[in-house]
């Protein structure tokens, strides 16, 4: 048996690690006794979200932009695995900042991958993509799998698809093992909360007794708790290379495909309220149900945290007044610190 010492602890580099998903990964990996390095340019002044880890001896933070190779190249040389989370995330923000989105989500990510490709120490490169790539599916009752035709509707999803293609077409070299995870829509508590995500948004609206406007209530989408994403990424890092090398996986669970109305029912069961207005024809036309059989079969991954768990933890945190301390922003983000 090889004992884990300070020196041989695997160093996981989270690019964009100060965000909603990244900060949950930090917690998870530190608990697993791994070393965690975060590279993030703190686009939303979100340093508060990583403050509690700063003094941990297994944690390092570098405020750097993924587009500045010189600022991160030496950091990458000490990494075992890289999880690529950084970017402008979601349809509204990529539409609002089109030039910046191209610069980060398209050119920046591409160049960053090229740098990783040339290094010999990166055993895993995990590119976090999205099920939004499936866009709009007209085939009712059909679950879309990794081989289904992609139909990205937004700038955000189009740029994810572009990077997926670029990555998967890189010529194989023995040092480079990329894996693409198409994440379902996330939910659950995080040090950097996002209340623009459906489950979190509905829960917060009900807690705060706001009137909730629900657009296109019968449209389907898959959901997954942030802590389940952490469990999956950990699996990808520690599993045999042949299982994940140049593979694409949908990340989630078949039982978590829901319509917005379905989500609403779950929230209403825990927070019985009825201040909801249904509306039709939002600008967001996404409607898809996803098949997660591949990740279950090959990586033996199945989710552990239900929607009820996520709704309850947000509710409890609110009751305990934790939200007074957790700073959060709504969906219409303003980018504060980015160079163009």
Among residues 191 and 205, whose Cβ is nearest to ligand NAD? 191
SS3 per-residue string spanning the chain = CCCCCCCCCCEEEEECCCCHHHHHHHHHHHHCCCEEEEEECCCCCHHHHHHHHCCCCCEEEEECCCCCHHHHHHHHCCCCEEEECCCCCCHHHHHHCHHHHHHHHHHHHHHHHHHHHHCCCCCEEEEEEEHHHHCECCCCCCCECCCCCCCCCCHHHHHHHHHHHHHHCCCCCCCCCEEEEEECEEECCCCCCECCCHHHHHHHHHHCCCCEEEECCCCEEEEEEHHHHHHHHHHHHHCCHHHHCCEEEEECCHHHEEEHHHHHHHHHHHCCCCCEEEECCCCCCCECCECCHHHHHHHCCCCCCCHHHHHHHHHHHHHCCHHHHCCCECCCCCCCCCCC
Among residues 105 and 177, whose Cβ is nearest to ligand NAD? 105
Minimum distance of ligand NAD from residue 182's CB (angstroms): 8
Selection from 7, 32, 325, 339 nearest residue 189 by Cα? 325
Minimum distance of ligand NAD from residue 84's CB (angstroms): 7
Among residues 319 and 336, whose Cβ is nearest to ligand NAD? 336
Minimum distance of ligand NAD from residue 2's CB (angstroms): 32
- Burial class from Cβ neighbours inside 10 Å (0-12, 13-18, 19+) for residue 268 reads middle
Selection from 231, 249, 205, 227 nearest residue 306 by Cα? 227
Rounded CA-CA distance 182/46 in Å is 25
Minimum distance of ligand NAD from residue 95's CB (angstroms): 14
Minimum distance of ligand NAD from residue 49's CB (angstroms): 8
Among residues 20 and 29, whose Cβ is nearest to ligand NAD? 20
Residues that bind ligand NAD (CB under 6 A): 16, 18-22, 40-44, 46, 65-67, 85-87, 89, 104, 108, 128, 130, 183, 185-186, 192, 194, 197
Among residues 174 and 304, whose Cβ is nearest to ligand NAD? 304
Among residues 44 and 176, whose Cβ is nearest to ligand NAD? 44
Among residues 275 and 334, whose Cβ is nearest to ligand NAD? 334
Among residues 18 and 189, whose Cβ is nearest to ligand NAD? 18
Query: Would strands 257-259 and 220-225 be described as parallel, antiparallel, or unpaired?
Result: antiparallel
By beta carbon distance, the residue nearest ligand NAD is 19
Among residues 9 and 62, whose Cβ is nearest to ligand NAD? 62
Whether the CB-CB separation of 286 and 222 falls below 8 Å is answered with no
Minimum distance of ligand NAD from residue 274's CB (angstroms): 27
Minimum distance of ligand NAD from residue 94's CB (angstroms): 10
């Amino acid at each position: 048996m090889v004992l884990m010492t300070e020196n041989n602890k695997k160093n996981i580099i989270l690019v964009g690690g100060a965000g909603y998903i990244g900060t949950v990964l930090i917690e998870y990996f530190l608990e697993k006794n791994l070393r965690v390095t975060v590279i993030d340019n703190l686009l939303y002044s979100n340093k508060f979200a990583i403050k509690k880890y700063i003094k941990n001896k297994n944690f390092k933070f570098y405020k750097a932009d993924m587009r500045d190779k010189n600022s991160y190249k030496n950091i990458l040389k000490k990494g075992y695995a890289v999880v690529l989370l950084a970017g402008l995330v979601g349809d509204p923000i990529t539409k609002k900042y089109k030039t910046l989105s191209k610069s980060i989500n398209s050119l920046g990510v591409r160049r960053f991958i090229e740098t990783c490709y040339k290094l010999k120490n990166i055993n895993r490169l995990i590119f976090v993509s999205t099920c939004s790539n499936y866009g709009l599916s007209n085939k009712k009752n059909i679950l879309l799998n990794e081989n289904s035709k992609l139909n990205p509707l937004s700038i955000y999803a189009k740029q994810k698809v572009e990077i997926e293609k670029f990555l998967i077409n890189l010529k194989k070299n023995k040092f480079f093992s990329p894996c693409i995870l198409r994440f379902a829509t996330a939910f659950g508590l995080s040090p950097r909360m996002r209340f623009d995500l459906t489950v979190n948004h509905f829960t917060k609206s009900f807690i705060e007794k706001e009137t909730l406007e629900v657009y296109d209530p019968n449209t389907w989408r898959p959901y997954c708790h942030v802590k389940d994403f952490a469990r999956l990424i950990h699996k990808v890092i520690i599993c045999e290379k042949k299982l994940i090398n140049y593979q694409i996986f949908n990340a989630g669970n078949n039982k978590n495909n829901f319509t917005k109305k379905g989500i609403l029912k779950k929230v209403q069961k825990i927070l019985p309220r009825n201040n909801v207005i249904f509306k039709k024809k939002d600008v967001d036309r996404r409607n898809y149900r996803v098949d997660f059989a591949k990740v279950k079969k090959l990586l033996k991954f199945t989710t552990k945290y239900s929607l009820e768990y996520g709704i309850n933890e947000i509710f409890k945190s609110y009751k305990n007044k934790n939200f007074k301390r957790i700073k959060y922003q709504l969906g219409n983000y303003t980018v504060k610190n980015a160079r163009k």
